[in-house]
Structure 1
Amino acid sequence: MDTITLGEVEITRVVERHGEFGPLRTFVPGVPDPAPSWLVPDHHDPATGGMIAAAQTWVLRSAGRTILVDTGVGNDRVRTNPVFAGWHTDFLERLSAVVDPSDVNVVVNTHVHADHVGWNTHDVDGEWAPTFPNATYLIHRADHEHFKGTEVHDDSVAPVMDLVTLWENGFRIDDNLELEAAPGHTPGSAVLRLRSGSDRAVFVGDMLHSPYQVTDPLCNSTFCLDQNQAQATRLRVLGRAADERELVVPAHFGGHGAVEVAHDGSNFAITGWAAFAQLSAA
């Protein structure tokens, strides 16, 4: 288990896949060429130009309940984007070593992209069924509306709609955890804030794909649907993280998985890394 504790909240990282996902500048075009050497080896392979990243789920135990933050790609999916098509991993077995799927109470989908909602469902006799049948799935209404009718929504959201709570302005899960709208990457992208005792963290989904975006917060990913709004959200969330000493937990960072940040003029600096075990470089 790869676990840290913040206040009264236990956080465990369960990795679906780690390695090179494709060219770094396909994902984050604004990264300079050559890329900064400090991205090597955990986040960039200069030999191939590749982005080193992880598809992963964060398992939170808070106030007597188990909460998942994002559910990864899933097995045997038909996807227009070949990066996420046809995966078949032992992720569910590894997750089950941490928590029985039937004991999950809440599933947070930070947004409705293929690599964040895939394990919402699994194949049961040729049909997509809820992987976490006793959970409440939390999805922002704007993403639900935007992605309806897409392949991702059809196999990973529609089959769990009886379990979904759609939210808009904000949603408090418990005394430690609260969802906040953070649009830009998608219309309904969200961040999850953790406040417990003196500890703070913010789970930011795809607000960041590469640590380079901390040092240059105007640098968007290719997949940000509203580029200007994505920049504004990144500046706002990183600003608060720096002010309140929040650990920033993106969806896809390899290495130690999460960062501590500070103001650096109009940008930000990485001042430390989380205590999660370092994922070995691919």
Structure 2
Amino acid sequence: MDVVNDYLNKCRQIIAVIEKQQEEIREAAAWFAATILAGRMVHVFGSGHSRIMVEEMWPRYGSFPGFNPIVELSLTFHNLVVGANGQRQAMFLENVPGLAERILRNFDLSSQDTALVISSSGCNVVPIEIAENFQMKGIKVVALVTKEHSARSTSKRQDGKKLSDFADLVLDTGAPAGDAMVKIPKLDTPVSPGSTVGGAILVNAIKAEVARLLTEAGHPPKVLSGAVIVGAERAVQLFESAYDEHAHRLAGLYQSVGAGVSST
């Protein structure tokens, strides 16, 4: 059995699933571009390994300001595995009610904002409540889930609601239930997940369409670019100006935090 070829074929199937979502990808990009053009930010949240898609959106080569990556280390810090800051604690905290509200309490949110919330199962409490809190503020939510996996999974939330229940638009990574895609002879558990592949394709397709829309609107984005492409001097200039723009946009999310909120 050629397991390498099997995995590559499964990835091609993921691409086929994503190709059928081009209308949804363009709709999400239109919402995000409108937010950025309004001087606001697109909030991007993912716990666990969904953090990968958050950082894929911004900041990295080929990306640009306008996105607010919300990454809580207590929910995403994997490399120690066990002991202090271990995986058991992170998986426990992913399902603590009320934590999402505490996270978003740090930002001055606006109905001009939009959000991308990533969770393969769509069943952990924190990302569900993050999306719920965004919608309560009038913010449009794009959920990135694995539809087959989510449909066959049980929500950790008491009322049984999932991330897709608090989404204005749902995108599917195309991975199978359980995520792992390759079956090995004489091994009873499959290996090699696919949701990261599908998720990365989706966020970068959205990113490309947002860049097109911003450019056509007369506001081309400051794209983090390698010196091998634009030369060393321009690369430095782009990085510095992009980070400055991010700081200025982020400042707007902090300047009125707590206004009108009782301290008791």
Question: Which structure is larger by alpha-carbon Rg, 1 or 2?
Answer: 2
Q: Is the strand fraction higher in 1 or 2?
A: 1
Q: Is the helix fraction higher in 1 or 2?
A: 2
Bin the TM-score by the shorter chain: 0.3 to 0.5
Q: Which has the higher contact order (CA 8 A, sep 6+)?
A: 2
